[in-house]
Amino acid sequence: MKTVTDYFGCDVFSASVMKERLPAEVYAEFQRTLDTGHRLNIDVANVIANAMKDWAIEKGATHYTHWFQPLTGITAEKHDSFITSKKDGRVIMEFSGKELIQGEPDASSFPSGGLRATFEARGYTAWDPTSFAFIKNGVLCIPTAFCSYGGEALDKKTPLLRSMEAINKQTLRILKLFGHDDVVAVKTTVGPEQEYFLIDKDVFHKRKDLVYTGRTLFGAMPPKGQELDDHYFGAIKPRVQAFMKSVDEELWRLGVLAKTEHNEAAPAQHELAPIFTTTNIATDHNQITMEVMQKCAKEHGMICLLHEKPFAGVNGSGKHNNWSISTSTGANLLEPGETPAENAQFLLFLCAVIKAVDDYQDLLRISIASAGNDHRLGAQEAPPAIVSMFLGEELTSILEAIEKDEDIDNREKELLKVGVHVLPRFPKDTTDRNRTSPFAFTGNKFEFRMLGSSASVAGPNTTLNTAVAEVLSQFADELENTSDFEGTLHQLIKKVIKNHKRIIFNGNGYDDAWVKEAEGRGLLNLKTTPDCLPYMLHKKNVDLYEKHKVYSETEIKAHYEIKNEKYCKYLNIEVLTMIEMAKKDILPCVSRNIHELADTVISKRSISESIDTSYELSLVEKLSELSAKAYSDVNSLEALSKEVKTIEESDAAAMFYKNNIIPVMNSLRASVDEMETLCSSEHWCYPSYGDLLFSVR
Ligand code: ADP
Ligand code: MG
């Protein structure tokens, strides 16, 4: 039997495969391209393409695709076969350097927010050589970035790569000041923990809402939910275990470092976490992970739900984005050091993240905003929509001491100069206790916990990288121009703590008191997607992205459009699904139930006028009242969904959904859910929450 180490990464055209298959000078040239970020020259690309093709064909591949992440949030691929026809009617298998480096898919159906004029439907895909090609379902997949004819980003990958460039540049400036001339590059690292639900395929297909929208739009709570806490870390069911095994095997073949799996808090909810890696690769790998999970679930007769909130009243699913910065010499810049100088450097990076999160709360909030995630944030299960940071008592008290120039060890003040000879190491378990914080320091990395389970991690990391790059550039400006490095550094750290400590909150983020306190501190509380999106266009934010060349103003406007449009489209589908379910299934079922009850009353009375009919009558009355209310909401929804189509601006339409349509959807749901508890099981047309959540046995 093959062991994991034998087959790990066997479907990846990795550095080691390249080293083995490419002439030494070509491989060296490729490495240089990776190190310097320069464009690959076409002769080198031709040799690589040919080797890649031979390798792929040996592995049974017949097609290749430029695999990219358009702004829809999922990955896209168009398959081309390697065949080229010959004059004699035969074919040969060919793949050129040009085809490797650049592709030209017809991009007209991908969202572009007006970036690509309709007459110029073409988009370009360009290989990201830092993310290796791989074979998936017999197709050679080449990870690429996707741009318009004018070079504007039409995908999530391009801005991410630009943001990595920005943070690399600014971090190197800082590291130089600390004497680290040996560091040639800095990369951010990410380990995204992925939550999901598994439900049985048969019950899934009986729910139109799950099929069309990925979440239940109706559904009363079952007698048993997650209150017993008996699922979290509980024994994994054999069927789920078998699924996880297939997922692992497939991911390992693709070089994805799948590491931890366990049951999550809600029934049917699970989590998969990989070992962290460089951010752009982690992003690709997370997309692959979601795809593989969905595919394997089907093979095991189940459906993997990635929606942020498939079930009301039960925990939703998020994605914890563990993030750090690591150097080409192998140092983690968010790891507290052993020596005073290392600690000063650590504190500076820590302060950079603190200031970045405070200055760009709005952008971080926007980066995780979606119609689906709106159901999660602020509920008693996910961080609130308020962005704050958890540092732990220990680190916070050190920062307080620095701010006040106190000596925490009661030693001489002098000892504290340059931030702290006395900085202790932070055992991970003292820093990772608070699970309610949106942005928590966990010993040697930050965990950004607001991400929704279905979204790509590209956006949040683009924002985080850029915001931190900006603060580091401000720090570098100050520190490069001083004759007293230590003094300036100390003052800088003090100033940041003083001005930005409002963002630090170590308490319970689920507590209502926090909402009040946060307001007092002047922190933003942007509850929904339409509330936060307009902040994207604020000058400070446009300036940030432009300065670091991550998004141009045109791109920001386009992305703003797309985010609003996407929100509206999701809601439109939800509204139409609700209307269809209510009109075609739910209301007719309730009527039949009423009819049966009324018939019973008549039959009973035909036997004797004195027989008690109070049970049937009260149900008839209650169900009639609720169905009339539901019917009126359905009519309102129909009218409102026509009205929203007349609103031209997508942001105004998004606001209309939020203010005018969602309340009616909620009202309709309330009536329907109550009717579900009153109707006989025989008359209810959909599998219940109980049927769904406990469907995998
Ligand atoms: P938890 O208690 O949250 O499950 P773990 O220590 O298991 O914490 O880590 C969670 C995730 O954080 C894993 O995916 C891990 O690979 C990732 N991680 C660890 N160190 C780093 C780092 N330096 N940069 C980015 N991610 C990291
Ligand atoms: Mg975690």
Nearest alpha carbon, ligand 1 atom 22? 324
Ligand nearest to the CA of 189: 1
Nearest alpha carbon, ligand 1 atom 17? 191
Give the Å distance between the CA of 447 and the centre of ligand 2: 7
Which residues surround ligand 1 with Cβ inside 6 Å? 189-191, 193, 273-276, 322-324, 332, 432, 444-445
Q: Which residue has the tokens 């209510």?
A: 582
Q: Which residue has the tokens 């036997």?
A: 607
Ligand 1 atom nearest 260 alpha carbon = 7
Give the Å distance between the CA of 627 and the centre of ligand 1: 50
Give the Å distance between the CA of 191 and the centre of ligand 2: 9
Q: Which parts of the chain have pLDDT scores under 70?
A: 1, 37, 106-108, 114, 116-122, 225-233, 340, 406-434
Q: Token digits for 654?
A: 């998004």
Ligand 1 atom nearest 274 alpha carbon = 14
- Nearest-5° Cα angle at 234, 232 to 235: 155
Ligand 1 atom nearest 428 alpha carbon = 6
Q: What is the pLDDT of residue 35?
A: 75
Q: Give the list of residues 6+ apart from residue 219 with CB closer than 8 angstroms, or none.
A: 311, 312, 673, 676, 686, 688, 689, 692
Beta bridge partners of 260: 273
- 614-645 and 553-580 helices cross at what angle (nearest 10)? 150
Nearest alpha carbon, ligand 1 atom 11? 191
Beta bridge partners of 324: 189
Per the CB < 8 A criterion, the answer to whether 209 and 581 are in contact is yes
Q: What is the pLDDT of residue 435?
A: 77
Ligand 1 atom nearest 324 alpha carbon = 24
Ligand nearest to the CA of 431: 1
Give the Å distance between the CA of 320 and the centre of ligand 2: 6
Ligand 1 atom nearest 332 alpha carbon = 23
Q: What is the pLDDT of residue 411?
A: 39
Ligand 1 atom nearest 193 alpha carbon = 14
Ligand 1 atom nearest 322 alpha carbon = 26
Nearest alpha carbon to residue 126 among 225, 39, 247: 39
Give the Å distance between the CA of 448 and the centre of ligand 1: 11
Mutate to test the pocket of ligand 1, among 285, 321, 322 (most ligand atoms within 8 A of CB): 322
Cα–Cα distance for residue pair 665/575, rounded to 1 Å: 7
Q: What is the pLDDT of residue 689?
A: 95
Give the side-chain half-sphere CA count within 13 A for 73.
20
CA distances to 140, 569, 582, 584, 640 from 636, in Å:
50, 19, 13, 16, 6
C-alpha radius of gyration, the chain, whole number: 28
| Strand 389-390 with 91-93, pairing | unpaired
Ligand nearest to the CA of 273: 1
Q: Token digits for 596?
A: 């049966």
Q: Token digits for 117?
A: 């004029």
Task: Taking the CA atoms of 342, 344, 347 and 348 in sequence, report the sign of the dihedral they define.
Answer: negative
Ligand nearest to the CA of 334: 1
Give the Å distance between the CA of 193 and the centre of ligand 2: 7
Ligand 1 atom nearest 190 alpha carbon = 25
Give the Å distance between the CA of 172 and the centre of ligand 1: 24
Mutate to test the pocket of ligand 1, among 445, 448, 451, 457 (most ligand atoms within 8 A of CB): 445
Q: What is the pLDDT of residue 509?
A: 86
3-state secondary structure of 658: helix
Ligand nearest to the CA of 443: 1
Tell me the longest C-alpha to C-alpha distance in the chain.
104
Give the Å distance between the CA of 460 and the centre of ligand 2: 16
